[in-house]
A and B are shown apart, each in its own frame.
Chain A
């Protein structure tokens, strides 16, 4: 019963993402999931933030997601840092944004001190 409810909720409220399994990294697997509240909320929406918890139907995804896979949401790439699979086939994937190879960060400290 809980599994049916999970599936219904994911269909009704889910967001589409793409899973790149580590066993077949070139294979894009479309999946659906629901955003859950992470340990710390950020100032932007899930899919743009660094931390995302994503509830999926673990049994509905082939191959099953695992720690170390990559998931793309709204074009942003995340690592599956950790996952918690429940007894009825649902799973919460704990995602952390991957660093870019070209960063737009700047070291503000010295610059702002110099100009003060």
Chain B
């Protein structure tokens, strides 16, 4: 089985290649970043989500489902993509959460004409299953959105 952290970072790296998505993140690809469960050196996940600055996108591993899904897929890795949009007051071309999610799902990646749903994020995984997104409200009663990616691993990587 793959280490899911590698896939988390690969998702981040891929999202950072979507020009309009980076533009929506204040033009800085580093505002798209990964969360890893390093006890002691990372904040707990709930705090990391709450304290996300705006705009930013944080990707983290949600879990792995095991099973005999097909003859060659036995692990499906789930990831969440937490989205915080920028303040759009006075923006020349304001972009909504709907627009940001469309960029995530449809934006061209790696300088190609393909989107993130159409590529192998790494050679060890199949193209992702159809992604979903859902509205959330945090403790400050602020809107944000969380996308869900599922990446089926090819075989059983040693």
Chain A residues within CB distance 8 Å of chain B: 22, 25, 38-40, 42-43, 49-51, 67-70, 79, 81-82, 94, 96-105, 107-110, 112-113
Contacts and interface: CB of A to CB of B under 8 A. Distances in A.
A112 B9 CA distance: 12
A110 B5 CA distance: 7
Given A40-B50, A51-B51, A108-B41, A69 B89 contact: yes
Contacts of B90: 22, 25, 68
Contact of B54 (A25, A79, A102): A79
B140 A96 contact: yes
B6 A110 contact: yes
B105 interface: no
Interface string B43-64: 1001100111111100000000
Nearest to A97: B53
A11 B86 CA distance: 32
B142 A109 contact: no
Interface residues of B, number: 40
Contacts of B84: 96
A46 to B, nearest CB: 12
Contacts of B56: 99
Contacts, number: 103
B31 interface: yes
A69 B54 CA distance: 13
Contacts of A40: 46-47, 50-51, 139
A70 B89 CA distance: 10
A111 to B, nearest CB: 9
Nearest to A49: B51
A25 B92 CA distance: 14
A78 B88 CA distance: 13
